[in-house]
Each structure stands twice: as structure tokens, then as C-alpha cells.
Amino acid sequence: MCLALPAQVIELLEDQRAIVSLGGVRKEISTSLLETVSAGEYVIIHVGYALTRLDEQEAQKTLQLFADLFQEGNDH
């Protein structure tokens, strides 16, 4: 199963790279598949690549769903 997650771009780096925040964890990713990306935007990431931009409201809804699923898994 493949999983793509929303993450917020924290910092833009050289060579089409960026630092994103994924659940409070910072990770370096490639932005080479996107024409443009800005700090503060949300992107969908998969295996270290930003696949698409995502508006903040959709990103927050998705992140909340993951948090709810994680919580349910820990309750059992």
C-alpha cells in the first residue's frame, strides 16, 4: 500500500529541495515535480517528493483524519 501525506513547506532550499513539517517532524523533500512552491504552502508528499499543492483547509482535514485513526488504533 502506498501512502501520500500532507505536509507544510517550512523552508525552501537550493536545487528544488525544501524542508517540510510532517506532524512536527522536519523532513527534506524534492519539489522537482512542481512548477512552483512557496514556504507556508501545503503539499502532498510521497517517497520524498512533493506531488501536488493542497489548500490549507483540505490539509488540516486530512491531518485530523490521520490523527483520529492513530488515536483509535492506540485505544485498542
Residue 42: pLDDT band with limits 50, 70, 90: very high
Q: Which CATH number fits domain 5-75: 2.30.30.140, 1.10.287.1080, 2.60.40.10, 2.40.110.10?
A: 2.30.30.140
Higher pLDDT among residues 2 and 72, named by residue: 72
What single letter denotes the amino acid at residue 14? E
Distance CA 40, CA 43 (A): 10
- What pTM does this model have? 0.82
**Band of residue 46 on the pLDDT scale cut at 50, 70, 90:** very high
The Cα–Cα gap between 23 and 6 comes to 9
Long-range contacts, stretch 63-70, CB < 8 angstroms, 24+ apart: 63/6, 63/23, 66/5
**Rounded CA separation 73/76 (Å):** 6
Domain residue ranges of the chain, discontinuous segments joined by +: 5-75
